[in-house]
């Protein structure tokens, strides 16, 4: 007998249709799986056999052929286990199901003769339990796109799958529960939906913890308002990492569409460090020993890297000069385009990577160049070699560059708590609303095109004269010229000013940090 079910295979952030065909025929008992399956797919044979037997069913002693069609496309993932097992029970007559049975629109009603099987996703444990799998979100999106209204997923993937509107999601604990649900003898309860108010967790890191550092706090507010890339230099212990870790708390929460796209990336990569549909902007902090594949993405079966996991959020690179040169240079194109293309001999995929780069580094190898109390032990040549690890083109992509001085201990102990993140976030939201009204929903000043700059960031006469003098003095590039205008536009938005004046240009120039890099 032959059974056929619908499934899908992951490709990048999307899914492609796959037919799971299970055929039982006469002959010596054996199991053959065809269809260009990867190791996890081929190993389904042993998982399905044990799960079927341990769930109280009989494993058919027949010649079993499982085909994943189309046969010329690579299949990867353990989510094929459940449709293969159900297909095996259907083909052997152990699943009491009439032809063309399906769920009705009401979740708790039994099957009626209307349509096809529900979409099945799940990895089987040897005792028949359903284990969570990666890539559930794009698989459920595929099911909805192709006309499915009901999907069965492992209980561990309930919240992720329930994020898709218009789908009846049924989390299942084991294979036996799925069979009873399909037969209509014991219906699975539908997934519970988490309200949006619960998707924005309480902040554990608040700007009120930062004492002093008024300029750094101001720069973080500008960076959050306009989506600008930021480079912080300073001696060890001055608070660079502390400031960066508090930046997501003053940024606007993600929209539901943005949260869905971020969840999709984490689902594909199998990363469970971020809850599904979390509305807080992601913060990724890879170690400086991370490889280019870990940062950019890739592998034999391409998966998203850190820059894609930071989509709509922050990529924080601490000890920037210690990162591999090849890793830093590969960031340049994604910073401009907001996406990364992973090309391989057999295929190529595109992952979104619209992240905000926040970096921190010491001013010299020993870290104490310019420190008011500790002397620097580095020679001029060592300082030049250290600073030169950051190439000019990459350095030019930082809209904001500041040096953070240490705070005196006596001053630190006597200071009151700073302004909290909630108050700063209100000003950031106001500036964002001005930008969205001007440029379109979701578009910030850092993403303005040259035409947008000419139209919305034109300085007045005094400001233009000041900017021309700075261009000549520091030999700034055309990219730097535009980035200064973008930052000035954000400063003006924070002040609710229509026109960019000389005070806005002067403050933007103050955050260029040319001295350290010019000296190298």
pLDDT in tens, 201-252: 666 688 988 887 889 999 999 999 999 999 999 999 888 999 999 999 999 9
Q: Are the CB atoms for 95 and 183 separated by under 8 Å?
A: yes
Looking at per-residue pLDDT, the higher value among 394 and 103 belongs to 394
Q: What is the DSSP letter of 507?
A: H
The residues facing 18 across adjacent strands are 7
**pLDDT cut 90: percent of the chain above it:** 70
Q: Long-range contact list for 190-196, CB < 8 A, 24+ apart?
A: 190/107, 190/108, 191/158, 191/159, 191/161, 191/162, 192/158, 192/162, 193/162, 194/159, 194/162, 194/277, 196/256, 196/279
Asked if pLDDT for residue 113 goes beyond 50, the answer is: no
In the prediction, which pLDDT does 515 show? Answer: 55
Task: Classify 401 as helix, strand or coil.
Answer: strand
User: Rounded to whole angstroms, what are the CA distances from 181 to 60, 96, 175, 189?
Assistant: 22, 11, 10, 10
Mean pLDDT of 43-48: 96
Mean pLDDT of the chain: 89
Mean pLDDT of 81-103: 77
- End-to-end, the C-alpha distance of the chain in Å comes to 76
Express each pLDDT in 24-35 by its tens digit: 999 899 999 999
Longest dimension (CA), the chain: 90
In the prediction, which pLDDT does 478 show? Answer: 86
Mean pLDDT of 383-391: 91
Candidate from 104-108, 159-163, 394-398, 433-437 with smallest mean pLDDT:
104-108
Candidate from 46-50, 211-215, 335-339, 485-489 with smallest mean pLDDT:
211-215
In the prediction, which pLDDT does 348 show? Answer: 84
In the prediction, which pLDDT does 105 show? Answer: 34
How long is the chain?
Answer: 520
The residues facing 314 across adjacent strands are 283, 356
Confidence band of 110 (pLDDT split at 50, 70, 90) = very low
**pLDDT cut 70: percent of the chain above it:** 91
Tokens of 29: 């008992």
Candidate from 66-75, 201-210, 311-320, 472-481 with smallest mean pLDDT:
201-210
Pinpoint the alpha helices (H) of 270-351: 292-296, 306-309, 325-330, 332-337
Q: What is the DSSP letter of 22?
A: E
Q: Strand 297-298 vs strand 303-304: parallel, antiparallel, or unpaired? A: antiparallel
Tokens of 369: 């160049």
Asked if pLDDT for residue 517 goes beyond 70, the answer is: no
User: Rounded to whole angstroms, what are the CA distances from 118 to 101, 208, 211, 437?
Assistant: 9, 51, 57, 43
In the prediction, which pLDDT does 97 show? Answer: 57
Rounded to 5°, the CA angle 267-268-274 comes to 35
Q: 């009626």: which residue's tokens? A: 112
Q: Are the CB atoms for 92 and 1 separated by under 8 Å?
A: yes
Q: Is the CA virtual torsion 441, 446, 449, 453 positive or negative? A: positive
Tokens of 170: 């049924």
Its pTM stands at 0.89
Which residues make Cβ contacts (< 8 Å) with residue 114, sequence separation at least 6?
100, 101, 102, 104
Q: Are the CB atoms for 119 and 146 separated by under 8 Å?
A: no
| φ, ψ (nearest 5 deg) of residue 225 | -70, -45
In the prediction, which pLDDT does 204 show? Answer: 66
Mean pLDDT of 291-317: 93
- CA 364 remoteness from chain centre: 32
Q: Long-range contact list for 468-477, CB < 8 A, 24+ apart?
A: 470/505, 470/509, 474/512, 474/514, 474/518, 477/396
Q: Are the CB atoms for 268 and 395 separated by under 8 Å?
A: no
Task: Classify 162 as helix, strand or coil.
Answer: helix
Mean pLDDT of 429-456: 94
Asked if pLDDT for residue 19 goes beyond 60, the answer is: yes
Asked if pLDDT for residue 319 goes beyond 60, the answer is: yes
Confidence band of 12 (pLDDT split at 50, 70, 90) = confident
Confidence band of 410 (pLDDT split at 50, 70, 90) = low
Q: Indicate the angle between helix axes 256-269 and 136-145, nearest 10 degrees.
A: 120
Q: Is the CA virtual torsion 323, 235, 386, 354 positive or negative? A: positive
Candidate from 60-64, 223-227, 282-286, 393-397 with smallest mean pLDDT:
393-397
Task: Classify 421 as helix, strand or coil.
Answer: helix
Asked if pLDDT for residue 79 goes beyond 50, the answer is: yes
Cα(242)–Cα(219) distance, rounded to whole angstroms?
Answer: 14
Cα(424)–Cα(295) distance, rounded to whole angstroms?
Answer: 31
Rounded to 5°, the CA angle 442-445-450 comes to 115
Segment (H or E) for 222:
helix 214-226
Mean pLDDT of 305-329: 95
Confidence band of 116 (pLDDT split at 50, 70, 90) = low
Looking at per-residue pLDDT, the higher value among 174 and 99 belongs to 174
Asked if pLDDT for residue 196 goes beyond 70, the answer is: no
User: Rounded to whole angstroms, what are the CA distances from 259 to 53, 203, 279?
Assistant: 40, 17, 6
Domains of the chain: 2-183 (3.30.230.10), 207-519 (3.40.50.300)
Q: What is the 3-state secondary structure (H, E, C) of 345-363?
A: CCCEEEEECCCEEEEEECC
Cα(126)–Cα(46) distance, rounded to whole angstroms?
Answer: 8
Asked if pLDDT for residue 487 goes beyond 90, the answer is: yes
Cα(415)–Cα(394) distance, rounded to whole angstroms?
Answer: 37
In the prediction, which pLDDT does 63 show? Answer: 96
């Amino acid at each position: 007998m032959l059974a056929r079910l619908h499934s899908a295979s992951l490709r990048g952030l999307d899914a492609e249709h796959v037919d799971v065909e299970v055929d039982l025929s006469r002959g010596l008992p054996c199991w053959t799986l065809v269809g260009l399956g990867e190791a996890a797919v081929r190993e389904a044979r042993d998982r399905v056999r044990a799960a079927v037997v341990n769930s109280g069913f009989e494993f058919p002693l027949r010649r079993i052929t499982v085909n994943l069609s189309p046969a010329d496309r690579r299949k990867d993932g353990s989510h094929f286990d459940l449709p293969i097992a159900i297909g095996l029970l259907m083909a052997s007559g152990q699943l009491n199901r009439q032809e063309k049975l399906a769920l009705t629109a009401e979740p708790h009603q039994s099957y009626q003769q209307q349509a096809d099987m529900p979409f099945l996703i799940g990895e089987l444990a040897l005792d028949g339990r359903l284990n969570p799998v990666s890539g559930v979100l794009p698989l459920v999106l595929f099911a909805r796109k192709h006309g499915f209204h009901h999907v069965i997923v492992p209980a561990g993937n309930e919240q992720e799958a329930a994020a898709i509107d218009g789908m009846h999601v049924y989390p299942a604990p084991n294979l036996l529960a799925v069979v009873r649900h399909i037969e209509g003898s014991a219906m699975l309860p539908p997934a519970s939906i988490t309200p949006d108010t619960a998707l924005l967790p309480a902040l554990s890191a608040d700007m009120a913890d930062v004492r002093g550092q008024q300029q750094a706090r101001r720069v973080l507010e500008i960076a959050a308002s306009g989506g600008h890339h930021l480079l912080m230099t300073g001696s060890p212990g001055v608070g660079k990492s502390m400031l960066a870790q508090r930046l997501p708390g003053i940024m606007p929460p993600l929209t539901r569409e943005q949260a869905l796209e971020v969840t999709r990336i984490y689902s594909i990569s199998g990363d469970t460090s971020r809850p599904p549909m979390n509305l807080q902007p992601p913060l990724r902090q890879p170690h400086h020993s991370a490889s280019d594949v870990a940062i950019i993405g890739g592998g034999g079966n391409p998966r998203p890297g850190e820059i894609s996991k930071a989509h709509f959020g922050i990529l924080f690179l601490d000890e920037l000069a210690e990162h591999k040169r090849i890793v830093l240079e590969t960031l340049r194109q994604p910073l401009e385009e907001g996406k990364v293309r992973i090309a391989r001999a057999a295929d190529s995929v595109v992952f979104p990577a619209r992240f905000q780069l926040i970096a921190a580094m010491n001013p010299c190898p020993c870290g104490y160049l310019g420190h008011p109390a500790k002397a620097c032990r580095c020679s001029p040549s060592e300082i030049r070699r250290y600073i030169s690890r950051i190439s000019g083109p990459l350095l030019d992509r930082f809209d904001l560059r500041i040096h953070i001085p240490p705070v005196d201990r006596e001053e630190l102990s006597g200071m009151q708590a700073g302004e909290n993140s909630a108050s700063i976030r209100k000003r950031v939201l106001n500036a964002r609303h001005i930008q969205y009204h001007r440029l379109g929903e979701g578009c910030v000043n850092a993403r303005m095109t040259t035409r947008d700059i000419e139209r919305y960031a034109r300085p007045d006469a005094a400001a233009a004269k000041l900017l021309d003098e700075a261009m000549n003095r520091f030999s700034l590039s055309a990219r730097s010229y535009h980035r200064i205008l973008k930052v000035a536009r954000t400063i003006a938005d924070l002040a609710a000013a229509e026109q960019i004046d000389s005070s806005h240009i002067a403050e933007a120039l103050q955050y260029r940090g040319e001295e350290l890099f010019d000296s190298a």
